[in-house]
Amino acid sequence: MFDSSSIIVGLEVGTSKICAVVGELNPDSSGLNIVGLGQAKSRGVRKGEICDAPAVEEDIRNAIVEAEQMADVEIRSVYLGVTGGHVRGFNNRGVHPVVSADREISEDDVQDVIKNAKTINLPAGNHVIHAIRQHFLVDGQDGISNPVGMLGSRVEVDVHVVHGNLNRLQNAIRTVKGLQLEVDEIVFNGLASSLALLTTEQKELGALVIDIGGGTTEYVVYADGVIKHASVLAIGGDHVSNDLAYGLKVPLGRAEQLKIEHGAAFVDGLKEKSVTISNELGMPMKTVNLEHLRRIMSLRLEEIFQLIGQDLEQAGLLDYLRSGVFLCGGGARIPEISRLAEQVLQMPVSIGKTNSISGLKSALDQPEFATAIGLVKFGSFQHKKRTGKASLRDGIKTTIGQLFKRA
C-alpha cells in the first residue's frame, strides 16, 4: 500500500469557520493519530450551505494549506462534511427473502436487504447520504446485529436513512473538486460529531449529541448502540448574533463581539449592568444593557433546545437517552449552556470530549473541532473496512484505479 493511503483528512465547511483535520492511521495498533489542523474564517456560507462559491474556495484552500504544512503531508482527498436545513433522517425497513436451498443467510443476502431498505420514496432530486443499518430481523426475530450464517427464510433490516437535496449537496462537492481535491465520501456533520464524542457504552445506553454550529444545529440520537434519529435545525450562533444586532441596535460585527465577550445562557444577577462600546478611536459610542443582551441570547438558545426536545418527544426517544446529552460545536462554548440545556431537556448535559483518538491535544479538547475530527474517524472506519475486506485481486484493482484517478 501507498504511504498516503493511511492519511485521512476531514474537511468541514462550516458557517463560521472552515476546518481541515489530518489524521494518520497507525498501521500496527490501527489507532488514529491527529497530526495536522488547518482552519480559516468562512465568508461564503449561510446556514451551513455555500452561497458564495469563490470565497469558499479560497477559504478552503487556506485551511488545507495550513493543515498540510502542520502535518507535513500532501492532501489529495478529503471526507467532506455536509449539512443544511434540507438534510433529514428517518427510519426505514427493507425486506429480502432468502432463496438459497439450505436457507443459510449469505453476505449477498445482507447486501440485498440493505439495498432494498435504501429504495425509498424520496422527494424528486433528493439523495441518500447515509443508510445506517440498525439491526436485522430474521423471520421476525428482532435484535440481530449480524445475520450472516444464520438460517431463515426472510431477512429484514432497519436502517436510518439520512438524505438531502442532491443539488445542494453537489454544490459543496463541486467547490471542493474545483480545488483539485478528491471527495472520498460525504458525511453528515451530525453523524461525524457523534462519532467523535461518543464511546461504545454511551451509544449502548443512549445519548443525544447536539452540535450547535454557526448556521445550523445538528442533533443525533443513539440508542441501543445504533443511530435512531438525525436531523438539522437551520439555527445557530449566527442567529444569536443577528438577534443581538437587531435587539441592541448595534452592527452585526459588534454584536458578534459582544456575544463572545459578554454572552451567557442565563440572565440572572445582572440587574441594570451595562457595558459601553467604544469606536475605533476609543471614544464611547453606545451603552448596551447586559441584561437585555443575555435575555435575547437566552431566549434564542432556550428555543433551540425546546425545538429539539419537541422533535425527540414526537419521535418517542426522550426516554432512551440514559447517558444524557453531549454538546459540541462553537455554541458549546457559551457559558452555562449545559445548565440551560439541562433545564429544558430535563436530563444530564455535558460538553462532549473527543475520545479514542490521540494526537494534538490542543485540537482534541475543543468542542468546535468535534465534527472535523469525527470526519477523520469516519474515514478511518471506511479505510479499515476497505483494506480489511479487499482480497488481493480487488486490492490491486482499486490501487490501480486510484492511481489513474489521481493522475
- In the complex, what is the shortest distance from the CB of residue 325 to other proteins, in angstroms, rounded to a whole number? 20
**How many other C-beta atoms are found inside a 10 Å radius of the C-beta of residue 284?**
9
Angle between helices 252-262 and 290-315 (to 10 degrees): 80
Give the contacts of 260 (CB within 8 A, at least 6 positions apart). Answer: none
Residue 52 binds to other proteins (criterion: CB under 8 A): no
CA distance 94 to 115: 8
**Alpha-helix runs per DSSP H in 251-331:** 252-262, 290-315
What is the CA angle 363-45-293, rounded to 5?
75
Residue 252 binds to other proteins (criterion: CB under 8 A): yes
User: Hey, is 229 helix, strand or coil?
Assistant: strand
Residue 292 binds to other proteins (criterion: CB under 8 A): yes
Please report how many Cα atoms fall inside a 13 Å half-sphere around the Cα of residue 94, on the Cβ side: 24
Q: Interface with other proteins by CB under 8 A: which range of 68-76, 120-128, 130-138, 242-250?
A: 242-250
Residue 230 binds to other proteins (criterion: CB under 8 A): no
- In the complex, what is the shortest distance from the CB of residue 357 to other proteins, in angstroms, rounded to a whole number? 33
C-alpha cell at 277: 462600546
Residue 296 binds to other proteins (criterion: CB under 8 A): yes
Residue 238 binds to other proteins (criterion: CB under 8 A): yes
User: Hey, is 321 helix, strand or coil?
Assistant: coil
C-alpha cell at 78: 478529503
- In the complex, what is the shortest distance from the CB of residue 314 to other proteins, in angstroms, rounded to a whole number? 11
Q: Which residues of 373-394 are buried (b: 16+ CB within 10 A; e: fewer)?
A: bbbbbbbbeebeeebeeeeeee
Select 246 or 381, whichever has its Cβ closest to other proteins: 246
Residue 113 binds to other proteins (criterion: CB under 8 A): no
Quick one: CA torsion of 301, 215, 206, 194, rounded to 10 degrees?
-140
Select 95 or 299, whichever has its Cβ closest to other proteins: 299
C-alpha cell at 209: 449529541
User: Hey, is 102 helix, strand or coil?
Assistant: coil
Residue 46 binds to other proteins (criterion: CB under 8 A): yes
Site size for other proteins, by CB under 8 A?
24
- In the complex, what is the shortest distance from the CB of residue 274 to other proteins, in angstroms, rounded to a whole number? 13
- In the complex, what is the shortest distance from the CB of residue 46 to other proteins, in angstroms, rounded to a whole number? 5
Return the amino acid letter for 206. Answer: G
Select 128 or 307, whichever has its Cβ closest to other proteins: 307
CA distance 34 to 20: 11
Among 14, 36, 81, 85, indicate the residue that binds other proteins (CB under 8 A): 85
Among 246, 365, 381, 385, indicate the residue that binds other proteins (CB under 8 A): 246
Select 50 or 137, whichever has its Cβ closest to other proteins: 50
- In the complex, what is the shortest distance from the CB of residue 118 to other proteins, in angstroms, rounded to a whole number? 27
- In the complex, what is the shortest distance from the CB of residue 344 to other proteins, in angstroms, rounded to a whole number? 13
End-to-end C-alpha distance for the chain, whole angstroms: 17
Among 235, 290, 312, 332, indicate the residue that binds other proteins (CB under 8 A): 235
Residue 210 binds to other proteins (criterion: CB under 8 A): no
**How many other C-beta atoms are found inside a 10 Å radius of the C-beta of residue 190?**
32
Q: Interface with other proteins by CB under 8 A: which range of 31-39, 70-78, 105-113, 288-296?
A: 288-296
Site string for other proteins, 135-174 (x = CB under 8 A): ----------------------------------------
C-alpha cell at 367: 468542542
Residues that bind other proteins (CB under 8 A): 46-47, 51, 85, 233-235, 238-239, 242-243, 245-247, 252, 289, 292, 295-296, 299-300, 302-303, 307
